[in-house]
Amino acid sequence: MRDALLTVRDFSVTYDVDPPVEAVKDVTLELRRGEILGLAGESGCGKTTLAYGLQRLLKAPAVITGGSVVFHDRSGEDVDVARLDAEQMRRFRWDKISMVFQGAMNALNPVAPIGAQLEDVFEVHRPGMSRAERREAAAELLDIVKVGRQRLRSFPHELSGGMRQRVMIAMALALRPQLMVMDEPTTALDVLVQREILRQISQLRHEFGFTVVFITHDLPLLLEISDRIAIMRAGEIVELDTAERIWTNPQDEYTKTLLSSFPRLTGDRGVVVR
């Protein structure tokens, strides 16, 4: 049994509008070190809010109304995310938990070369590194994700969507975080590029050993890549189990509906016919 990396207890987020919207309701889950946890659910069910909330990245009117998020660092130290002050939170971000965002197209600053945006991370989090070391580290990252170091000086608009997303993955890898939250990293890409990127992610995970929270509404994809899957609906996790058991023996009605709403190639309705 692998040890825990992140413990989330009774985590709730409310959008303080009129009437208030409870986007995440009493979510409790434990993330194990090294696993891929899939987070699935329909649009607007609170997946992204949960992911942003873990790092306290939400902006007003979102309010974290309760619960705790504890990060179990590799060093053995437990970090209660809610207790960190602004400066500690800033250091914690990206260093321990990095993110790959939904909109690959707009996630990069359009007026700065991608090399500079990668080096940015080192400049802020590793002040001890020299300019040359930062440049080399950024070049190496681009090599790792197969974009190639000759792209260091390219601007985001000079890259394709797939390349941009790989740059984002390179950026997320930069500090060798223990957890990478991927918020629909492949939704905007076509299936071939999607496959390529997923393969790359799993390869990188073997190499660097980070844990992944993979958010998507593409359940068949999750069934394929994740160790465990959490099904979310209206802000609540309705079912959390291994991919295999979700596939073979879903307990919740909603999970069953979700599974049966994906067509299958043979023409029968639903992946799982009951």
Partner 1 sequence: MTAVQPQPPVQDGVEVGTTATTAVKGHSRVPWRFLTGRAAFYLFTLWAAITINFFLPRMMKGDAVDQYLSRNRNVSPEAADALRALLGLDTDKSLLQQYVDYWALLLRGDLGVSLLHGLRPVTEVISQALPWTVGLVGFATVVSFAIGTIGGAVVGWRRGSRLDGLIPVTTFLSTIPYFWLGLLAIALFSVNLGWFPIGKAYGVGMTPQWSAEFIGQVIHHGTLPAATIVIASLGGWMLGMRNMMLTVLDEDYVMVAQAKGMPNRRVLWRYAARNAVLPQIQSFALSIGFIVGGTIVMEMVFSYPGVGKLLLDATNAKDYALMQGVFLVITLSVLVANILADVAYAFLDPRTRQTEA
Binding footprint of partner 1 on the chain (CB under 8 A):
55, 57, 60, 90-95, 98-99, 101-103, 106-113, 120-121, 124-125, 148, 150-151, 153-155, 157-158, 168, 171
Q: In what order do the strands lie in the sheet with 21-32?
A: 21-32, 4-15, 62-72, 78-80
Q: Give CA–CA dist 195/52, Å, rounded.
A: 25
Closer residue to partner 1 in complex, CB, 135/233: 135
DSSP run (H or E) holding 63: strand 62-72
For the beta carbon of residue 14, count every other beta carbon within 10 angstroms. Answer: 19
Q: Which residues pair with 21 in a beta bridge?
A: 15
Which pair of tokens denotes residue 106?
Answer: 């707009």
Q: How far is the CB of 32 from partner 1 (least distance, A)?
A: 23
The CA-CA-CA angle for residues 217, 214, 47, to 5°, reads 55
Is the sign of the CA dihedral 107, 32, 23, 198 positive or negative?
positive
Q: How far is the CB of 93 from partner 1 (least distance, A)?
A: 4
Closer residue to partner 1 in complex, CB, 102/255: 102
Closer residue to partner 1 in complex, CB, 107/221: 107
Q: Is residue 125 classed exposed, middle or buried when 0-12, 13-18 and 19+ CB atoms within 10 A define those classes? A: middle
Q: How far is the CB of 89 from partner 1 (least distance, A)?
A: 8
Closer residue to partner 1 in complex, CB, 71/101: 101
Q: How far is the CB of 57 from partner 1 (least distance, A)?
A: 6
Closer residue to partner 1 in complex, CB, 28/150: 150
Q: How far is the CB of 108 from partner 1 (least distance, A)?
A: 6
Q: How far is the CB of 167 from partner 1 (least distance, A)?
A: 11
Q: Give CA–CA dist 244/105, Å, rounded.
A: 33
Closer residue to partner 1 in complex, CB, 90/199: 90
Closer residue to partner 1 in complex, CB, 2/176: 176
Q: How far is the CB of 179 from partner 1 (least distance, A)?
A: 13
DSSP run (H or E) holding 179: strand 179-183
DSSP state of 150: G
DSSP state of 60: T
Helix (H, G, I), strand (E, B) or coil at 130: coil
